[in-house]
Structure 1
Amino acid sequence: MDIASSRRQRLSPEERHKQILDSAVAYFAEHGLDGNTRDLSKQMGVTQSLIFKYFATKADLIEAVYNRVYLDRIAPHWPELITDSTRPLRDRLVQFYTEYAQAIFTYEWMRIFMFSGLVGAELNRRYLDHLSAVILGPILAQIKAEAKSQRIPDFEDVWNLHGGIVYIGIRKYVYQMPTADPDAALIARAVDRFLKDFGIQVDPQ
């Protein structure tokens, strides 16, 4: 992205804001959240003052990156999809996790998530708290309602399922290790194994 050239095009404030944010996402994905705005501005071919014209502090820029990379990728229909009891639970979970993978299995999401976790950044904690309330809590409620095993499922079980699916993306974008099967097939198998542990129907409908 050549921001120095685009500057000569007299971009609107909205376009400039988006352009800086796009570049910040790419920069932090490559260098981690402790990367500084001075180096970011050099990579973009602009002055630091231009960045701070649109984002008053680095913290404000990081907050915008958080919203772009994390929150904006949570589709509003997912909670309704998960709780739609007119469909088999297996189908709902496979569809959700397939869509979720399509949203987060990107270089930027995986790298920023890993960098943020390594430095103990608040971003990951906030995101996981939000995900727990909006997505994982409803998943657990649905599993509890249909479980036929003696062991009662808990949040740790759901986190294990979720973490195992996210790890598919980590392998591809952090460890650079391609998977042997398509993501959708790996997700379906993970969901099936999980549901079988609680005696829940897994035969595709």
Structure 2
Amino acid sequence: MRAADRERVIVDEAIRFFAEHGFEGQTRELAKRMGIAHSVIYRHFPSKEALIERVYQEVYLSRWSQDWGPLIRDRSQPLQARLTDFYLDYVARVFEYNWVRIFVFSGMKSFGITGRYLDLVRREIIEPAALELRHELKLPDAGSCPLGSREVEMFWGLHGRIFYLAIRKFIYETPVPSDLEETVRDAIQLFLDGARPMLPRVLQQHRLDTAS
């Protein structure tokens, strides 16, 4: 087998292995499972951490769409439509056994995958969406009033609500709605119904707090 092909096989099997056993799973066990010598893994990856970094690239960055950030900022359509398009695509891409389980295991073992990925979500989705809601409601922009933690947390709440469906399915192994599209649309509608009247009050309090 060519070196590139062998490396591809190791990565694919490592993704499945870590999804099943978490990052406490040892590379020696991974090699045994593959029927290869332990040293073969280290010919391609100098350390377990290097293999985990490759898993991050394969599982997370390869599924991140470069269209998501521009979609959230696209003011040619209402914010509700943008959020709906984003979350329907997000669910289609990331609601997958390996993705969800590796994400959770990473958070528990502090390998950094979870934190790095959530930082990407915050920069590209959460904070821009918070600013877009301000714009839609004709509220002050970030130049005159920086984003506050409460409005950012409002959008994390929406994100967490939708992602929890994947936690239920792949971690707790409990039933989830068969029609995820309908569930996503309901979540966004309920979120905006509450956020639109609430945000002006949150922003007013935020401005008072920062002025004092």
Scaled to the shorter chain, the TM-score interval is 0.7 to 0.9
Query: In the alignment, which residue of structure 2 is the partner of 1:91?
Result: 81
Query: In the alignment, which residue of structure 2 is the partner of 1:118?
Result: 108
More off after superposition, 137-146 vs 154-163: 137-146
Partner secondary structure for residue 86 of structure 1: coil
More off after superposition, 154-163 vs 135-144: 135-144
Which of residues 55, 65, 73 in structure 2 aligns to 1:65?
55
Structure 2 unaligned blocks of 5 or more: 140-147, 198-212
In 1, distance between residues paired with 2:124 and 2:60? 13
Structure 2 letter corresponding to 1:126: R
Are 1:22 and 2:19 matched, yes or no? no
In 2, distance between residues paired with 1:74 and 1:37? 27
Partner secondary structure for residue 195 of structure 2: coil
TM-score (norm: length of structure 1): 0.86
Query: In the alignment, which residue of structure 2 is the partner of 1:7?
Result: none
Query: In the alignment, which residue of structure 2 is the partner of 1:180?
Result: 177
Are 1:82 and 2:79 matched, yes or no? no
Which structure 1 residue ranges, 4+ long, deviate > 3 Å from structure 2? Answer: none
State the shift of 1:198 in Å. 2.6
TM-score (norm: length of structure 2): 0.83
More off after superposition, 173-182 vs 16-25: 173-182
State the shift of 1:164 in Å. 0.5
Partner secondary structure for residue 34 of structure 1: coil
> Retained in 2: the 8 A contact 1:148–1:199?
no
RMSD value, Cα: 1.7
Count residues with an aligned counterpart: 188
In 1, distance between residues paired with 2:66 and 2:44? 28
In 1, distance between residues paired with 2:133 and 2:5? 44
Structure 2 letter corresponding to 1:19: V
Partner secondary structure for residue 93 of structure 1: helix
In 2, distance between residues paired with 1:144 and 1:52? 51
Query: In the alignment, which residue of structure 2 is the partner of 1:203?
Result: none
Are 1:171 and 2:161 matched, yes or no? no
CA displacement, residues 23-58 of structure 1 (integer Å, 9 cap, x when unaligned): 000000000012110000001111111111111111
More off after superposition, 52-61 vs 176-185: 176-185
Which of residues 129, 143, 163 in structure 2 aligns to 1:139?
129
> Retained in 2: the 8 A contact 1:28–1:35?
yes
> Retained in 1: the 8 A contact 2:177–2:183?
no
Structure whose residues are more often helix by fraction: 2
In 2, distance between residues paired with 1:168 and 1:126? 21
In 2, distance between residues paired with 1:80 and 1:98? 16
